[in-house]
């Protein structure tokens, strides 16, 4: 059985400048959705949007910083002006900055909390009304949050990152209770290792080497494989809500 529930939809994808967000934006556009791409690097967004348009899709590059309330508000205004209300929101923007907690990297704690948790909330806040209205009009409405297996499995030195992802998983579960009765689906995705830029921001050389070693040992999913799961979940009939997807490389414990 296959469904095509993506054509004609209007999506917002954060973190669309690279990795999972980029792959999700490209695939949703390929399946017929109009996609607004959000991240901070305008050139990267334009390149992805250009690729989508070259393939006959519709894409809008919107520079935005999810840690900045005004920037998210401006982005939402621009999307509404160009595309009208949206019915599919994917929160993929995120950062992973590990350190032993006694290093007291308050700068990194703040950045992870503000991007991975408050940033997700800012985006949800900006588009909830659209999702609820779309569902009330009988259309399919989706909120997809990219959490992490780190929400459940603790890794030494990744305590704060894991805590931000546990918060995302909790938020997703809790929001299902608020949104489900109004026919808005909430899907929480917890990936294991995925090939992307995420680990390139690790500044501790030893921890960087450790993660490369783990990747060599178990491999990583491609961002496209993750995007395939997002497209699968959001293309089901509107009464089917895949609420939690845990996707690991087969060799990852």
- Of 134 and 221, nearer to ligand NDP (C-beta) is 221
Q: Are 66 and 48 in contact (CB under 8 A)?
A: no
Q: Which residue has the tokens 């109009």?
A: 34
Contacts of 223 (CB under 8 A, 6+ apart): 19, 20, 22, 23, 194, 195, 196
What distance in Å separates the CA atoms of residue 163 and residue 143, rounded to the nearest whole number? 21
Identify residues 220-239 at the interface with ligand NDP (CB under 6 A).
223
Residue whose CB is less far from ligand NDP, 132 or 245 = 245
User: In this structure, what token pair is assigned to residue 202?
Assistant: 């690790």
> From the list 109, 158, 179, 193, which residue makes contact with ligand NDP (rule: CB under 6 A)?
193
Is 3 among the residues known to form the active site? no
**Residue 17 binds to ligand NDP (criterion: CB under 6 A):** yes
The footprint of ligand NDP on residues 54-93 (CB under 6 A) is: 64-67, 92-93
Q: Establish if 162 lies at the interface with ligand NDP (CB under 6 A).
A: no
Token pair in block for residue 96 = 């992973």
Residues in the chain: 253
- Catalytic site residue from 83, 161, 170, 232: 161
The interaxial angle of helices 69-83 and 120-136, nearest 10 deg, is 30
Applying CB under 6 A, among 191, 229, 230, 235 the residue interacting with ligand NDP is 191
Q: Using the minimum distance from each CB to ligand NDP, give the nearer residue, 65 or 183.
A: 65
Are the CB atoms for 131 and 90 separated by under 8 Å? no
Interaction residues for ligand NDP, span 98-157 (CB under 6 A): 115, 119, 146, 148
Interacting stretch for ligand NDP, rule CB under 6 A, among 81-89, 128-136, 177-185, 186-194?
186-194
Q: Is 95 helix (H, G, I), strand (E, B) or coil?
A: coil
Q: How many residues bind ligand NDP (CB under 6 A)?
A: 31
Name the DSSP letter for residue 227: H
Tokens of 115: 């991007």
| 96 lies in the binding site for ligand NDP (CB under 6 A) | yes
CA distance 120 to 97: 17
- Scanning 9-17, 51-59, 77-85, 102-110 for contacts with ligand NDP by CB under 6 A, the matching segment is 9-17
Nearest distance in Å: CB 90, ligand NDP: 10
Q: Per-residue x/- marks for ligand NDP, 194-213, CB under 6 A?
A: x-xxx---------------
For residue 103, give the 3-state DSSP assignment.
Answer: helix
CB within 8 Å of 125: residues ≥ 6 apart: none
- Which residue of 41, 110, 182, 243 would you call a contact of ligand NDP, by CB under 6 A? 41
Site residues (vs ligand NDP, CB under 6 A): 14-15, 17-21, 39-41, 44, 64-67, 92-96, 115, 119, 146, 148, 191, 193-194, 196-198, 223
């Amino acid at each position: 059985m296959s469904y095509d529930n993506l054509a004609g939809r209007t999506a917002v994808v954060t973190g669309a400048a690279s990795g999972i967000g980029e792959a999700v934006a490209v695939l949703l556009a390929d399946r017929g959705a109009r996609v607004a791409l959000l991240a901070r690097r305008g050139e990267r967004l334009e390149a992805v949007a250009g690729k989508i348009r070259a393939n006959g899709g519709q894409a809008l590059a919107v520079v935005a910083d999810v840690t900045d309330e005004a920037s998210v508000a401006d982005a939402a205004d621009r999307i509404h002006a160009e595309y009208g209300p949206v019915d599919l929101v994917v929160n993929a923007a995120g950062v992973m900055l590990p350190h032993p907690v006694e290093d007291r990297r308050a700068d990194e704690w703040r950045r992870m909390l503000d991007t991975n948790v408050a940033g997700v909330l800012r985006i949800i806040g900006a588009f909830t009304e659209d999702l609820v209205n779309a569902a009330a009009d009988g259309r399919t409405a989706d909120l997809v949050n990219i959490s992490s297996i780190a929400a459940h499995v603790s890794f030494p030195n990744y305590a704060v990152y894991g805590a931000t992802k546990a918060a995302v998983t909790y938020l997703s579960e809790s929001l299902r209770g608020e949104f489900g009765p109004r026919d808005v689906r909430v899907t929480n995705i917890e990936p294991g290792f995925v090939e992307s830029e995420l680990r390139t921001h690790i500044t501790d050389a030893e921890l960087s080497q450790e993660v490369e070693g783990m990747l060599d040992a178990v491999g990583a999913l491609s961002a496209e494989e993750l995007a395939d799961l997002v497209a699968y979940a959001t293309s089901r009939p509107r009464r089917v809500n895949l609420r939690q997807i845990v996707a690991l490389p087969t060799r990852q414990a």
